[in-house]
Amino acid sequence: MEVTFQTLFNAALGFIMLIVGWLLRAVWGLITDMQNEIKGNREKGSTEVHNLSTKVSDEYVRKDDLNNSMKRIEDMFKMIFDKLDDKVDK
């Protein structure tokens, strides 16, 4: 069997195509993994935002509730100061 230039060229081209195909398959696998990771992070992020909004609505005081409480405290202080002023006058 005689080895010609065409045979060597075909073998080299086949080997190069094998390497390129393997690299493309590896890159495709990495891209798929990254897409799945992004999809998982997106779902996880959505859950975290939902949990945070629930936490905000459960644990923190609303502005109008705080204003009402502060108004009552200010009224109590006013009563105390008025009583103290009455004591000083006597």
Domain of 81, in residue numbers: 61-90
How many folded domains does the chain comprise?
2
DSSP secondary-structure letter at 72? H
Q: What is the pLDDT of residue 59?
A: 67
Q: What would the pLDDT profile of 6-33 be if each residue is shown by its tens digit?
A: 999 999 999 999 999 999 999 999 999 9
Residue 36, pLDDT above cutoff 70: yes
Token pair for 25: 């398959």
Same domain, 44 and 19: yes
pLDDT per residue over 50-66, tens digit each? 777 666 666 677 788 88
Q: Which two tokens stand for residue 78?
A: 């006013």
Tell me: do 53 and 67 sit in the same domain: no
Q: Are residues 25 and 50 in the same domain?
A: yes
Same domain, 47 and 67: no
Q: Report the length, in residues, of the chain.
A: 90
Same domain, 4 and 35: yes
Residue 27 and residue 70 in one domain = no
